[in-house]
């Protein structure tokens, strides 16, 4: 019979293994995937996002554990590449030191993975790893910037840094003593949309009055809809209905009014829970947790789905990456349907469809 210590050791070894899908093993060679040139590379990175990253975030160690394992050493070369690529999709600054190490690695493959991972962590457009030069000096230069980011993220969130970088890029303020990213205003807002969660809503609301153009406000509109689960933009429907452009103007004015009504700091998590609770009021019965989330999904619009998908992870749903830049991407609806099916399989939920008649008890004959 095995001793308790032996059992604990065996459990630690089995849990500690990181699954390495073929897409990670093949990185950075895109020849396996269909397409030509950039399309082929894009398919490779999409496979890593959909397979390796989803599996890691769903059932693997969290970012803090990955960072600790990296620091302790002992990871295999394949595991290091997995952490740099799939781990970066956590969008957690805890993994920045690992990315800095990867950029300084003697292995070109690790430097390629770290370069892609750094962009992934910030929600930026991904570079082509096959187009990178095998230049260790360039890797060292990038690693020094990441070292500065490590210190900056100890007092500021990623979204806060991006918001400050937007103000500099739009010419509204100088860099001062704070670290800013050399990005365009549009890149900053696009990255915020990619990585923001309800916890970041206060930063986004504070940035809204400072957006310098209608184009920037339009870009940030979907982010606020996603984080608050509200629908401000309502487009006309019907084959003969033509948009006049006034819908966007009305939506921006509604956001102005909503932001102006926030007198104190905005608690995004509280607003999320309130939105889910409010969506179930009309059903006539109390719902909470996954049941309320699924009921809300029936009535929500695509911009809200990334927040709903993240919320459902606590109820057995896989961690998925939805297309936040194009919320109406048909792939988002297919992915959300898979998420909901998984939750309904693993979590006991009794949500009746609107067409299903209420249950009526069987009539009993009077006792004679």
Model confidence over 5-30: pLDDT tens digits?
Answer: 444 333 333 356 798 999 999 999 99
Decide: 127 and 119 in contact? Cβ < 8 Å: yes
What is the reported pTM? 0.86
Mean pLDDT on 83-112: 98
At 316, give phi and psi (nearest 5°): 95, 5
Number of continuous H segments (helices) and E segments (strands) in the chain: 18, 0
Nearest Cα to Cα of residue 95 among 125, 56, 68: 68
Burial of 329 per CB tally in 10 Å (0-12, 13-18, 19+): middle
CA distance 163 to 262: 19
Say if residue 358's pLDDT is above 80.
Answer: no
Q: Where are the domains of the chain?
A: 19-152, 267-350
Burial of 87 (0-12, 13-18, 19+ CB in 10 A): buried
Least confident range of 33-37, 280-284, 302-306:
280-284
């Amino acid at each position: 019979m095995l001793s308790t210590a032996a059992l604990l050791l065996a459990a630690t070894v089995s849990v500690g293994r990181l699954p390495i899908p073929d897409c990670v093993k093949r990185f950075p060679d895109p020849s396996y995937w269909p397409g030509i040139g950039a399309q082929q590379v894009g398919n490779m990175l999409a496979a890593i996002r959909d397979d390796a990253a989803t599996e890691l975030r769903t059932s693997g160690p969290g970012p803090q554990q990955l960072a600790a394992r990296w620091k302790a050493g002992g990871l295999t070369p394949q595991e290091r590449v997995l952490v740099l690529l799939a781990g970066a999709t956590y969008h957690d600054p805890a993994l920045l030191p690992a990315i800095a190490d990867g950029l300084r690695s003697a292995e070109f493959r690790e430097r390629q993975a770290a370069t892609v991972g750094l962009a992934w962590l910030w929600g930026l457009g991904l570079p082509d790893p096959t187009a990178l030069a095998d230049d260790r000096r360039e890797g060292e230069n990038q690693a020094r910037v990441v070292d500065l980011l490590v210190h900056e993220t100890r007092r500021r969130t990623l979204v806060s840094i991006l918001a400050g970088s937007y103000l500099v890029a739009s010419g509204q303020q100088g860099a001062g003593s704070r670290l800013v990213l050399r990005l365009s205003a549009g890149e900053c807002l696009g990255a915020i949309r990619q990585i923001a969660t309800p916890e970041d809503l206060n930063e986004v609301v504070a940035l809204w009055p400072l957006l310098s153009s209608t184009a920037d406000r339009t870009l940030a509109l979907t982010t606020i809809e996603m984080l608050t689960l509200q629908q401000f933009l309502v487009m006309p429907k019907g084959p003969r209905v033509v948009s006049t452009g006034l819908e966007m103007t009305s939506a921006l004015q509604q956001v102005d009014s909503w932001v102006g009504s926030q007198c104190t700091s905005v608690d995004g998590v509280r607003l999320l829970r309130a939105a889910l609770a409010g969506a179930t009021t009309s059903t006539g019965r109390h719902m909470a947790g996954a049941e309320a989330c699924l009921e809300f999904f029936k009535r929500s619009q695509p911009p809200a789905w990334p927040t709903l998908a993240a919320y459902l992870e606590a109820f057995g749903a896989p961690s998925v990456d939805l297309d936040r830049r194009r919320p109406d991407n048909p792939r988002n609806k297919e992915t959300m349907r898979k998420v909901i099916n998984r939750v309904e399989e693993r979590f006991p939920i009794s949500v009746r469809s609107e067409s299903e008649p209420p249950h009526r008890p069987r009539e009993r004959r009077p006792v004679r």
